[in-house]
Structure 1
Amino acid sequence: MTTTDIATLIASHMREVSDFPEPGIQFKDLTPLFADAAGLAAVTDALAEAARGADLVAGIDARGFLLGAAVAIRLGTGVLAVRKGGKLPPPVRSETYQLEYGTATLEIPADGVELSGRRVVIIDDVLATGGTLAAAARLLGHCGATATHAAVVLELAALGGRDALAPLTVTSLLAI
């Protein structure tokens, strides 16, 4: 499927929800895309192509879990769930960061998963301000891994998230 075909597919399956999760936010919901078998397969293939060379996939809580697991299967790697704060049993490594509408914390297990020297691609559904993906990259770095790439389905280009991720390579399947 071409880049244009993927972008058209994503746009045709995306719905916009006004004032969610707070007034003034225009939430881009990709749930219809993920519920469509052909759409999910096409997006998974495109994200996996962008992620070649990684030996681990990190999926961001929560929609990044769906995509990250699918991409990991395509690449033949493992997947690491990067969770929202308070969802994992201790001990954890954590990173707190700014969102466009508040603050949040990401966590990964502090033990049980060897990250030192791993080349990790970070997968999520949407790139907005870049705070979540940048926090995930920092968190992985604190554990000795190298975030080599970030790949997302949708980029909200006007919010400048790509700039917050420099020098990390970023792939978005649709930028609006």
Structure 2
Amino acid sequence: MPRLISLNARTAAHAQATDRIPVTLTEIRHPELPEPIRLSSDPTVRLSTDPLRYGTRHKGQAYEFVLMGLPWPDDQRGSAPKTTLVFENVVADMAKPLRSILSPPTADLTIVMADTPDVIEARYLKLKGTLGTWDASQISLDASRESFANEPMPSGRMSKARFPGLFR
């Protein structure tokens, strides 16, 4: 099924040259983290001067700018959307939250345009982190939605003891 995006985003995508750029907002959540980690792929506005930080404001929340590479999740028939988030490791403590958690985090990806950050172009919710790796130069997090093929079907055997209404 094709994804619907706004006319402004389509015009910017097909233009030969444009100043409208897509911005990926990433929110990583986990019960062991004190608050969600909010990251932006674009330094849209100045968030603070001391320390100097840039990022994107989306619906009242500040998303901090980091150098990130991210292919948008695929929409293929028969498979769950999956992507790999790659963050450049430019700060000494950047991998610390990833090292501190043992179970998979949850990531929400929101795609907006830089000039209209409150208008959502695409959204991928509740992607589960499947693999996290880091080294001196980058941090990678593979994220995917859980496949519906993993759901047990049927969940139980249709026996007389469990479903007596079937055997009347």
More strand per residue = 2
Which structure has the larger Rg over C-alpha atoms?
A: 2
- More helix by proportion, 1 or 2? 1
Instruction: Name the TM-score, length of structure 2 as normaliser.
Output: 0.27
